[in-house]
Chains A and B, each alone.
Chain A
Amino acid sequence: MTPPGSLLTARDLRKAYGPTTALDGADFSVHPGEVVAVMGPSGSGKSTLLHCLAGIVTPDSGSITYDGRELTAMNDARRSALRRTDFGFVFQFGQLVPELTCAENVALPLRLNGTPRKEAAATALDFMRRLEVDDLAAKRPGEVSGGQGQRVAVARALVTTPRVLFADEPTGALDSLNGERVMELLTEAARATHAAVVLVTHEARVAAYSDREIVVRDGRSRDMERAV
């Protein structure tokens, strides 16, 4: 059953890679505009959960409902389209395109969606301002620091105003000051655009920026709000 008002819900997800069980009956739900941290030790299945929720990996069984639609029943093309239009992604390493400037990197998802160049550039700059990296517009990723690059990556992930932002250890490669700045700006920008955030992290200080946490252990999830 989908919790009322939930944007993205997973029920009883199971996924095995050969003999290794990654998910063993995991549940999840996130509401619009909510930041949910997915926590747990390495190898607990939290990244697999994120990949299933984002439609990157298909679970062996279980259901994932996004905005009333069953994600597991969609074909690949439909799921890819959804990832482009409704979902945004931030990973541990920014994965910016090194040949493009920071502004071109941020504008890229809009250009791929067919937004005219000028409009895409203006929107990109707006999001770079929110992430306080607008002064880096003309620089290439190789010329900016790790923390700056990660903020550019967050701007790129949010530029299409996705309804869900998936962030997989977004501060994992940063020191704590830079990591916290990224989290502050990421959550502020996401809240301003009403994006839900699925935040995978093993760091409590990063999880403290969330509204709620789910703990994954041995492929099973536990919603800590309901536990307390």
Chain B
Amino acid sequence: MSIGHTLLGLLESGPRHGYDLKRAFDEKFGHDRPLHYGQVYSTMSRLLKNGLVEVDGIEPGGGPERKRYAITEAGVTDVQQWLATPEKPEPYLQSTLYTKVVLALLTHRDAADILDTQRAEHLRMMRILTDRKRKGDLADQLICDHALFHLEADLRWLELTAARLDKLREAVVR
């Protein structure tokens, strides 16, 4: 995730202090990984240098946490561009799991076992997410759903590969 763009976007609704930005970020997007103060200030100084934000006011006392930042016109354009640009779909073509399965077949180990063990691990994670979703608010539900759909896609691949192991063995063991 682009922290710079996210902080810029949060500034669009009005000027904020650095600590206020961190709090807003953590609350909305930082469930698992809250920002460090250092990250906020290094990002803000970069945005400042690039003219995407400006210092809107400084409270007496000094120190970076006293600065209040406001987004500039260039900053708004930058956020707009970022939002309008689609994210690159990740095709996951270099799957470690695929490599493991092929290696297991090549070395005459039990490839089905690898797939079953992985499936159990995926389901374990899906249970944790499902439980979190059940207890969480709508934001939590959407975040967990995103992860759940990806894990589910992996599981479908595991199923399909398990059903095709004999063919795959023929193809790779030559």
Which residues of A line the B interface, CB within 8 A?
Answer: 41, 184, 203-205, 207-210, 213, 215, 217, 222, 224-225, 227-228
Contacts and interface: CB of A to CB of B under 8 A. Distances in A.
B120 A205 contact: no
Contacts, number: 45
A22 to B, nearest CB: 18
Residues of B in contact with A, size category: 20 to 34
A224 B122 contact: no
The 3 closest A-B pairs by CB, nearest first: A208-B126, A224-B120, A208-B130
Contacts of A41: 159, 163
A184 B134 contact: yes
A222 B162 CA distance: 14
6 contacts: A204-B156, A205-B152, A215-B116, A224-B123, A227-B113, A228-B117
Interface in B102-151: 113, 116-117, 119-124, 126-127, 129-130, 134, 148, 151
A216 to B, nearest CB: 12
B155 interface: yes
A205 B119 contact: no
A213 B126 contact: no
SS class, residues of chain A in contact with chain B? mixed
Contacts of A210: 127
A222 B155 CA distance: 17
Contact of A222 (B116, B127, B148, B159): B116
Nearest to A228: B120
A199 B124 CA distance: 16
B129 A208 contact: yes
B119 A224 contact: yes
Nearest to A204: B155
Given A207-B123, A210-B127, A228-B124, 7 more contacts: A203-B152, A204-B152, A208-B130, A209-B130, A215-B116, A215-B119, A228-B117
A215 B123 CA distance: 12
Contacts of B116: 215, 222, 224, 227
A227 B120 contact: yes
B117 A205 contact: no
Q: Which of A204, A217, A222, A228 has the most CB of B within 10 A?
A: A204
Contacts of B129: 208
B148 A208 contact: yes
A70 B117 CA distance: 33
B127 to A, nearest CB: 5
A202 B151 CA distance: 14
Q: Which of A208, A215, A227 has the most CB of B within 10 A?
A: A208
A184 B134 CA distance: 8
A222 B164 CA distance: 19
B137 to A, nearest CB: 15
A65 B76 CA distance: 68
Given A41-B159, A222-B116, A228-B117, A204 B134 contact: no
A222 B159 CA distance: 15
Contacts of B155: 204
A208 B127 contact: yes
Q: Which of B123, B126, B151, B155 has the most CB of A within 10 A?
A: B123
A209 B148 CA distance: 12
B126 to A, nearest CB: 4
A33 to B, nearest CB: 16
Contacts of A225: 120
